[in-house]
Amino acid sequence: MFLDDLRADLDEIDRLGLVRQRRSQQSPCGPHVLRDGRRYLSFCSNDYLGLAAAPELGEALAEGARRWGAGAGASHLVSGHYTAHDDLEQALAEFCGCQRAISFSTGYMANLAAVGTLAARGDAIFADRLNHASLVDGALLSRARLSRYPHRDLDHLAHLLATTPARRRLIVSDTVFSMDGDLAPVPQLLELADRHDALLVLDDAHGLGVLGPQGRGTLAHFELASPRIVLIGTLGKAAGLAGAFVAGNLSVIEWLVQKARSYIFTTAAPPALAHALLTALRLIRGADPQRAALQALVARLRRGLGASRWQLADSATPIQPLIVGGNHAALSLSRSLDEAGVWVPAIRPPTVPEGSARLRISLSAAHTGGDVDRLLALLSTLEAAP
């Protein structure tokens, strides 16, 4: 009976155009990949600087494994913490201009920790409606009261803050929204946090390495710093590897060390990874030319689609969503590109709101202008199709 129910639920998501498929690649992450025995030009990854397959980073990982072996052996508070983790945390704090940082195995876990541990029953969390799922899950775990405000709607947020009876308030937002590519109004969020004595939790998964001088992220882009800011960065995107961190005020980070369940009750990430991440940080700092090239690709794509029927959402980052609307329409466009050897994922609910299924085109400094032109040419032929 249980299994029959599951089968029926699976049939239902199929009918709605919501079945997801894993695609197994036979080559490393990059703009040109081998998948299902075929070569594809890929606009799928979050490897914004092209570091995921960079030989220097692979070598750093191998060096880390030679120095530290393969595994950490235990959780951080037992015996899984190494000087490699300390060195990484210090470098991350310095990189982001924060007092201290704590490293996590994934961004999902870092967000569960930051939101789920800093707020508790009786507190209030105010979250942008388009925030990443992990921030929502952290809020649910906290048992605090969660209010989701319309995307980037500062007036609505100000009203919620002015009328909450809760003494402790947390404002939570993506900095660069992961499926839309637009920026949160971070300076204004900080003003509201100051005015209402709130903490401001910012998820910089798509800003770190991409925005700001030396890729220092969204805070550097806006030239902001404040003890109220709790910053999350992930290290599997522009940094090309895996892992994440929370950075901020000393008391905030110490509280996470003491209380965050997704830190305490899990085996520490391999010290070899922490070792390699130091190289990733160095590569990010030195990648201003790659960031300039990436901006040029963004401009090229937007210029190229400017006059066509394909409309990109308003985004200045490497995340360039082409909003289609229906689930089946988005899938069908993605399939047409696929048949021509170009891989752009269709993103559907619940990842994005109902009725806003889209192709999420993500650009990398590893792409060439020619790669973008190929996508443009293909989209223009599809435009002509009935």
Ligand X SMILES: *Cc1c(COP(=O)(O)O)cnc(C)c1O
Query: Which of the residues 237, 275, 356, 367 is marked catalytic?
Result: 237
By CB under 6 A, the residues from 181 to 210 that bind ligand X are 203, 205-206
Residue choice 42, 178, 315, 317 for contact with ligand X (CB under 6 A): 178
3-state secondary structure of 230: strand
Residue nearest to ligand X (CB): 107
* Extended beta strands in the chain, E state: 32-35, 38-42, 100-104, 124-128, 145-149, 169-174, 198-203, 229-234, 244-248, 319-325, 342-343, 346-347, 357-362
Q: Interaction with ligand X in 104-143: which residues (CB under 6 A)?
A: 106-108, 111, 132, 134
Q: Which of 103, 105, 173, 178 is catalytic?
A: 178
Rounded alpha-carbon distances, angstroms, from residue 332 to 250, 337, 359, 382: 50, 9, 10, 11
Shortest reach from residue 201's CB to ligand X, in Å: 11
**Residue 134 Cβ vs ligand X, minimum distance, rounded to whole Å:** 5
Is 105 a known active-site residue? no
Residues 242-271 vs ligand X: string with x where CB under 6 A? --x---------------------------
Q: Which residues contact 91 (CB under 8 A, 6 or more apart)?
A: 278, 281
79: annotated active-site residue? no
Instruction: Give the gyration radius of the chain's Cα atoms.
Output: 21
Q: Which of 85, 206, 221, 367 is catalytic?
A: 206
206 a catalytic residue: yes
**Least distance from ligand X to the Cβ atom of residue 130, Å:** 10
Least distance to ligand X, CB of residue 89, Å: 16
**Of these, 58, 71, 185, 236, which contacts ligand X (CB under 6 A)?**
236
Which of residues 88 and 379 has its CB atom nearest to ligand X in the complex? 88
Q: Is there binding between residue 174 and ligand X (CB under 6 A)?
A: yes
Residue keyed to tokens 């110490």: 254
Residue nearer to ligand X on the CB measure, 111 or 379: 111
Cα 93 to chain centroid, rounded: 19
Task: Between 264 and 382, name the residue whose CB sits nearer to ligand X.
Answer: 264
Q: List 176's β-bridge partners, or say none.
A: 183
Burial of 178 (0-12, 13-18, 19+ CB in 10 A): buried
| 267 DSSP 8-state letter | B
Q: What angle do CA 234, 240, 242 make, to 5 degrees?
A: 50
Is the dihedral angle over the CA atoms 379, 380, 383, 386 positive or is it negative? negative
Contact pattern from residue 299 through residue 328 relative to ligand X, giving x for each residue in contact according to CB under 6 A and a dash for the rest: ------------------------------
Could you give phi then psi for residue 100, rounded to 5 degrees? -155, 155
Residues with catalytic roles? 178, 206, 237
- Return residues touching ligand X (CB under 6 A): 106-108, 111, 132, 134, 174, 178, 203, 205-206, 234, 236, 244
